[in-house]
């Protein structure tokens, strides 16, 4: 079956530091890959996605590249802000009307 | 175009009561998914519905939980005789017909069982 593994948190960074949150996956076929963000007390928001190998998803300064050879989709941001403090979920979708498989989430805390 | 709507946002029930959670998908979306997020955990798939049909309920507990998506009105996730372990955030998502890969999530209903 499908699975997503992401680095455990919490991750604590100072403002303007570089962020990497690792994510690897196991899936049959050619899944689409996603990063969702959940701010405290809120639902999930789609942050970015990539639908095929070597695609790069980007949004709000975050980016992730779909690496089929390493089955990875690591999230990066060059300079984090306090407002980026949230829980980040890596996820995959096998296509069509199917369920999304989520990682366990990584809590990011950015301190001034 | 309003996003996925869920209500109530917060629901408190005592053990043994029933909980009803509602989800209205985005306009034009006829596919609804329910997920559960236990404290400090990721989201787990529960059920996938189309109008008047349950397509995949492989993530639903065998007892006390049921879901429907009638021809008219919102999708309902129903939990009978709630127990403390049912306390969680329940999220609904919907997909557009033109982009089946992407699911749009509602704000969730946070159920607390006393």
| pLDDT, mean of residues A68-96 | 93
- Chain A residues in contact with B48 (beta carbon < 8 A): 97-99
> Can you tell me which residue has the tokens 């006390």?
B64
The confidence score (pLDDT) of residue B97 equals 75
Mean model confidence pLDDT for chain B: 92
**In chain A, which among 23-82 make CB contacts under 8 A with chain B?**
32, 34, 36, 42-46, 49, 51
* More reliable by pLDDT, A43 or B47: B47
Taking an 8 Å cut-off on Cβ atoms, the answer to whether A93 and B33 are in contact is no
CA closest to B32 among chain A residues = A97
The confidence score (pLDDT) of residue B28 equals 87
Q: Does residue A93 surpass a pLDDT of 90?
A: no
3-state secondary structure of B104: strand
Query: Do B89 and B108 contact (CB within 8 A), yes or no?
Result: yes
- Chain A residues in contact with B35 (beta carbon < 8 A): 100, 102
Contact residues for B107 (Cβ-Cβ < 8 A; gap 6+): A42, A43, B4, B6, B9
Contact residues for B98 (Cβ-Cβ < 8 A; gap 6+): none
The confidence score (pLDDT) of residue B1 equals 54
Q: Structure tokens of B50? A: 């189309």
* Of A41-50, A72-81, B6-15, B97-106, the least confident: B97-106
Taking an 8 Å cut-off on Cβ atoms, the answer to whether A97 and B107 are in contact is no
The answer to whether A106 faces chain B, any CB pair under 8 Å, is no
d(Cα B87, Cα B22) in Å, to the nearest integer?
16
Q: Does residue B30 surpass a pLDDT of 60?
A: yes
Q: How close does chain A come to B17, measured CA to CA in Å? A: 25
Q: Does residue A95 surpass a pLDDT of 90?
A: no
* More reliable by pLDDT, A76 or A43: A76
């Amino acid at each position: 079956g499908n699975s997503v593994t992401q680095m455990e948190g919490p991750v604590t960074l100072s403002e303007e530091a570089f962020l990497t949150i690792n994510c690897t996956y196991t899936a049959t076929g050619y899944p689409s890959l996603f990063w969702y963000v959940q701010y405290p007390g809120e639902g999930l928001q789609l942050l970015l996605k990539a639908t095929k190998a070597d695609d790069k998803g980007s949004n709000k300064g975050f980016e992730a590249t779909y690496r089929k050879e390493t089955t990875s989709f690591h999230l990066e941001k060059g300079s984090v802000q306090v407002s980026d403090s949230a829980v980040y979920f890596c996820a995959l979708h096998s296509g069509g009307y199917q369920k999304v498989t989520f990682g366990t989430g990584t809590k990011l805390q950015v301190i001034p | 175009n309003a996003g996925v709507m869920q209500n109530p946002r917060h629901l408190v029930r005592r053990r043994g009561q029933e909980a009803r959670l509602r989800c209205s998908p985005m306009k034009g979306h006829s596919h609804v998914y329910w997920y559960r997020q236990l404290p400090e955990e990721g989201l787990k798939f529960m059920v996938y519905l189309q109008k008047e049909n349950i397509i995949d309920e492989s993530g639903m507990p065998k007892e006390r939980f049921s879901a429907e998506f009638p021809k008219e009105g919102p999708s309902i996730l129903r939990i009978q005789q709630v127990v403390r372990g049912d306390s969680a955030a329940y999220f609904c998502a919907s997909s557009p017909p033109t982009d089946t890969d992407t699911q749009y999530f509602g704000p969730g209903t946070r159920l607390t069982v006393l």
